[in-house]
Amino acid sequence: MLGKVHQGDVFLEQINDLPEGNKKILRKNVVAFGEVTGHSHKIEGCEVVEIGGHEFLCLKETKTMTHDEHPPVEVKKGNYRIKIQKEYFPEGLRNVQD
C-alpha cells in the first residue's frame, strides 16, 4: 500500500512512478515554503521536481520532514505528489496558510 504523509498544510501522496514529461528541478532540501511565517517544510537530501505543472518529491531513502512549528514526520523512500491543503470559504477555496 502506498503511503500518505501530512505535516501542517503539506500533504504528500506516494505514487509508484513519476509521470512522463519534461522534468524540471525546482529545489533541493525544501519540500514547501511557508506563506505566512517563512518557515519551510524540509527534508535533507530531497529533490522537488515539476512535471506537467505539478510538484513531486523524490526520496532515495527514508528521511524526516521537519518544520519549526510542527512535529517531525518520517517520510519513506519513494516518489510523492506534493499537495497543499485547501480550505473552504464562502468566497471559494484557498490554500491553507502555514
Q: What residue segments make up the domains of the chain, in order of their start?
A: 22-82
Write out the three cell numbers for 12.
504528500
pTM of the model: 0.83
Q: What is the pLDDT of residue 74?
A: 97
Q: What is the pLDDT of residue 95?
A: 59
CB neighbours of residue 85 within 10 Å: 13
Residue the block writes with cell 503539506:
10
Q: What is the pLDDT of residue 86?
A: 63
| Binned average pLDDT, 10 residues per bin, the chain of 98 residues | 87 95 94 81 95 95 94 96 75 55
Euclidean distance between CA atoms 75 and 31, whole angstroms: 11
Write out the three cell numbers for 13.
501522496
Residue the block writes with cell 517544510:
41
Euclidean distance between CA atoms 70 and 57, whole angstroms: 19
